[in-house]
Structure 1
């Protein structure tokens, strides 16, 4: 019985390519050499060695062909041998589970016909009776705009209404495995910070797997990772270059190699609370098999850098500290954030993983989990991130988010009746009001301001009969209550913490920028639907007061 690495010039006989999902737990492989000899390479455990010692003397043929190697060498060999099958499954995972949930097709033929009919009917009515069309559109769009306002107000009222139940630390023995997936692309600068953050996670090292998912042509990031001192269980995974080159495709690739019972996704810039895995495990243990995902709140550490980061941090506080906990508490459809999503691996695999063609894969996955009967809840231990400092970076990121939400809505509405049956009427109604409301309010916000300004001009300087006072009042109330509800929710979510500068005066400008991103997203949805405009990351220069503020601050 020899100890050696697996040669590069042998061909795998077992496991077969269709069974590559077993790579994360298989401990041996059968290969065929260039001389047509079969060899067995094995990375045995202690129990395996006892079996080998007991039975091998009676099997001289197997003894002659058996080779012992390291788990790492065996994993690397199997991974490289099944590379093509792994990447193919990463691309098709959602379609293999349910093709209707894939955004590979932006809009179906039926959806195209409906959109064309609505557009042509609106144009026809604009010619025949523009006043009636204006009133009708105001009425319809005001419903969705007002729905977003109502959600903010309800979320503000309910902040702190339910306290986070206490959770205890994981026992040192008998713990389950946890896999951490981090998709990286051109992230060499933040690698030291990232690796340090992963090392600080409080989970038994023998049960923790951290996979750094890198594109194979990203030599700088790979080199930066190789320069780090990795604990056991930390591993660099090179993903073959193929389209679409998106984060969800990389995550699907890593999911097939994840050995843990639970899976969490982090971004390159993330500094998660060290106890976050512990809290997630506790909630999964108490929540039952239908609890499929837990979302940790994201907190931006650099809100003091300028007005843009200040507004972004304020928006994050409102979203992760107010809206998402309210949705989770009421068992409504919860759009996940792009990071710090903790999954029960069996649930994630049951729904087909992430959609590699959706550029806001997190929001889409949250909806798909709800459709499949899985619950999504919130954690209290947060993850620290940094907001984009430059306006161009912010615009590209927000464009991608809005484009992905448009993609998601089109995907979910391919079969509306099925969606109603899966969600139920109350959840379906709230989902539609929020999804359409978010997109419509972003697109039409400048037009509402123009109408209000125009009406105010007529009211002050011109013929009052020429203005439409009812529409003027509706738009004015929507805009003002929108500002007030957004600010009130953010202030309540911050729980008395002071912002490093004024917020209310910047809200109108910030919403103008969101509208610009929405129109840019609408154009990209037509021209470049799968374009992934990546946010560049830099090492944080901000040391937050604590990586996880009060544990009950963002609780469900």
Structure 2
């Protein structure tokens, strides 16, 4: 199936798009800040270092306060779900795929299980023109009559959001949702979203379903440590942070899947930014800038973790690179954000980037402190205030993960908590990768490898991702 693609979609080259990594003004400001900090460290190190540490401590205190508030707000009982409308709207389902021939049968089976009137469904498997293996597999499958194959014409950038924009251009639904290849959505998720949209005014334009990690890898790709930490991280975000932000009426970064939209609003926004490698995070704040609202659903979508470090690192690199892109895009203008918007941007994307940069450094400094005391046989007087902030910050992060994991029915025990700082340190490795990639190849897309759920997973090997050119990549 092919369609016409309006220039209002997938052609965003304006100053508020990630196609431009930094504007000239932003570049000048960054250079001045870097030069000023470097000069200050060289000329006045005794004054600069304490001021820098104090600034970091203030940031940690704000983040601690936010996490405690989010935990308290998310504890509030949820209101009863709205009644399902008498007339359900037509619903478009979009799945952008690349190199996913093996997982297609499982995906189609799960889409077929969605509990929604078939005559009101309008689905699209969106495929890249050069991905002949997935195109052939999709054509060979027996699909529901409402599930179409949409081949994206060649062009740049070859990213997931560009593919989604092509589907948005031809979608016939009043509402639209996005799923990923490995997703297993709750069959009643669409009905819940339709009920919320019918019960609310038109300012509510997006609903995010919780994403839950249900399965861990086995065999050669087994990594219980990575899988359990990743699952707890997801639980903290989707079971605690996003519900709290929704109840406070704050914007938040969307997940890359299981977001449900009013199609009219999504088209008015111009669709997704095809140049942003975390188009979902960006879109949440673009919705806010237009004066619209986001909400959360209760019926989840189940996903699989990326697995070993070999697969986790490219995915997390892309996420952090996209967060940096989004921060650069949304700090170009003050219009439409307001205090609550800046607060939300800071405690989500800003905190994620800053924490990733500082985790390994902070843990290393603590290790050096105790090592020096051990070697000198005289423990120096610790910086009690700073140490207390770090301990309380780690405790609130672990508590958030533990509560979120309990709500998501995800295991996260004492051993996982003790191991968490090692996982956090890996985020710093991803941060360094992301920063370099943002400079040298900002629009290159690191694709996460997927495979179907089987009883003996070791019989279905996952191909190693190509970090330099993994799947979709800008030409």
**TM-score over 0.5 for the pair:** yes
Alignment pair present for 1:130 and 2:45:
yes
Deviations 1:436-478 (A, max 9, x none): 222111101222223333334555665989x785xx3344234
**Structure with max Cα Rg:** 1
Q: How does 1:31-50 map to 2 (within 5 A)?
A: none
Alignment pair present for 1:499 and 2:411:
yes
Cross-structure match for 1:267 = 180
**Partners in 2 of 1:315 and 1:304 — Cα distance?**
17
Cross-structure match for 2:78 = 163
Q: CA deviation at 1:120?
A: 0.7
**Partners in 2 of 1:520 and 1:439 — Cα distance?**
12
Q: How does 1:82-481 map to 2 (within 5 A)?
A: 82=4, 86=5, 90-92=9-11, 94-95=12-13, 99-169=14-84, 171=86, 174-303=87-216, 306-415=224-333, 417-418=334-335, 422-457=336-371, 469=382, 472-481=383-392
Deviations 1:373-392 (A, max 9, x none): 11100000000110011211
Unaligned 5+ runs, structure 1: 1-75, 544-556
**Counterpart secondary structure, 1:532:** coil
**Partners in 2 of 1:108 and 1:349 — Cα distance?**
26
**Partners in 2 of 1:397 and 1:498 — Cα distance?**
21
Cross-structure match for 1:547 = none
Q: 2:442 aligns with which of 505, 524, 529?
A: 529
Q: CA deviation at 1:155?
A: 2.1
Contact 1:182 1:212 in 2 (8 A): yes
**Counterpart secondary structure, 1:212:** strand
Q: CA deviation at 1:166?
A: 2.9
Contact 1:168 1:282 in 2 (8 A): yes
**Partners in 1 of 2:324 and 2:251 — Cα distance?**
16
Unaligned 5+ runs, structure 2: 219-223, 457-475
Cross-structure match for 1:508 = 421
**Partners in 1 of 2:281 and 2:389 — Cα distance?**
26
Higher alpha-carbon deviation: 383-392 or 298-307: 298-307
**Counterpart secondary structure, 2:170:** coil
Q: CA deviation at 1:304?
A: 7.3
**Partners in 2 of 1:369 and 1:164 — Cα distance?**
24
Deviations 1:253-290 (A, max 9, x none): 10000000001000011110000000000000111100
Q: CA deviation at 1:433?
A: 4.1
Higher alpha-carbon deviation: 229-238 or 360-369: 229-238
Using structure 1 for the length normalisation, give the TM-score.
Answer: 0.77
Count of residues in correspondence between the two structures: 449
**Partners in 1 of 2:52 and 2:455 — Cα distance?**
46
Contact 1:300 1:384 in 2 (8 A): yes
Q: CA deviation at 1:298?
A: 0.4
Higher alpha-carbon deviation: 496-505 or 375-384: 496-505
Higher alpha-carbon deviation: 532-541 or 446-455: 446-455
**Counterpart secondary structure, 1:91:** coil
